[in-house]
Amino acid sequence: MKKQRIVFRTGELFAGSGGLGLGTKLAKVVLQKETWEYEHVWATDYNKDACETYRSNLMPERRKSVICEDIRKIDFKKLEKISVIDFLSFGFPCNDFSVVGEQKGINGTYGPLYTYGVNFLEYFQPKCFLAENVNGLRNANEGETFRIILRDFERAGYRVVPHLYKFEEYGIPQTRHRIIIVGIRKDINVDFRVPSPQKYMHYDNTAKKAIEVPPIPENALNHEFTKQSSRVVERLKYIKPGENAFTATIPEHLQLNVKGAKISQIYKRLTPNQPAYTVTGSGGGGTHVYHWSENRALTNRERARLQTFPDHFVFAGSKESVRRQVGMAVPPLAAKIILEAILHCFAHIPYEWVEPNIGLPCPRSGGRTTC
């Protein structure tokens, strides 16, 4: 008997280079008579390099369905003509919610952009959605911003389950904490449950294994080495694994002349037998993530491995553009775990789950089908 293929047609906003997108492509639930999976039908972003990366890796046969345009100018009907959607994902810009920076929150340049996600939900009414943002979101404006965002998603017609995921607990070789909000349309008798990290606790998710196993080919794309100045090389010689420019014992002439806040990731070396610290997409000298033994910054390909991108996933653009794309992405294998949990819920397949740790209480059945 041929298996029934149940497909969630997927649209993505603020798609970036495709961390969520690749996780969506990889997510699948195979049963005896059914296969549940996602299929991209359109995606949007305003960054040309990121759009090219997304097209080449995720939608090579539907390149025109990746719309490279400012979300504030996109015509909903244009996307509707491509396809209706069952699932919407979006990592709305986090610049104004990040703990690094001014934290302007909902009043900043990027903070209000989440409302376009709300507008898309109201217009397309997909069965479910996934929204992602930084941990700082829950603290912006003393938590009021977070409450407003959750309320707006609910008003759009969705029961929402927000949770702070610590990706290193899910086998990802990086300490990266992100808020993921999953919403299911209120007229659908399905509740989402946060997947438990228990079965991933014994994964070997060290930085050393991620970068070295298997070895990265010398001719791998996006693997250009940074030309370190002799001064930086000399400074790194005094920094041990896990230390940074302010915690290491460094000769005075090599110390950084910094007043005020001292960011802990400046010239910080990785600890080889632990997950990496958070890979970022921007920042000046000293923020590029540094090898535990070699006196250099990581290459973009090494950073991509810490983000769980496979080596065949090639990023378009300049070296700095690639760095931004890698650092801004959701780790695909982390996304896959959450996206498969959504499919399990709709397929009514039980799995281990935990109570959400922030925001609204865990939804009870109330007569609805639970996972």
Catalytic residue selected from 94, 128, 345, 371: 94
Q: How far apart are CA 257 and CA 285, in angstroms?
A: 13
Nearest to 282 by CA among 222, 323, 322, 253: 323
- With tokens 């995921």, the residue in question is 165
H-run or E-run covering 184: strand 177-185
Q: What are phi and psi of 31, to 5 degrees?
A: -115, 180
CA distances from 253 to 59, 180, 227, 232, 249 (A): 51, 44, 21, 12, 12
If you write DSSP's letter for every residue of 58-106 in order, what string do you get? H-TT-GGGEEES-GGG--HHHHHHH---SEEEE----TTT-SSS---GG
Please name the residue ranges forming H helices in 180-282: 207-212, 230-236
Please indicate whether residue 128 is annotated as part of the active site: no
Nearest to 106 by CA among 135, 70, 147: 147
CA distances from 195 to 244, 287, 347 (A): 34, 32, 15
Structure tokens at 177: 């904490």
Q: How far apart are CA 128 and CA 181, in angstroms?
A: 11
Q: How far apart are CA 290 and CA 270, in angstroms?
A: 6
Nearest to 12 by CA among 108, 107, 91: 91
Q: Which residues are catalytic?
A: 94
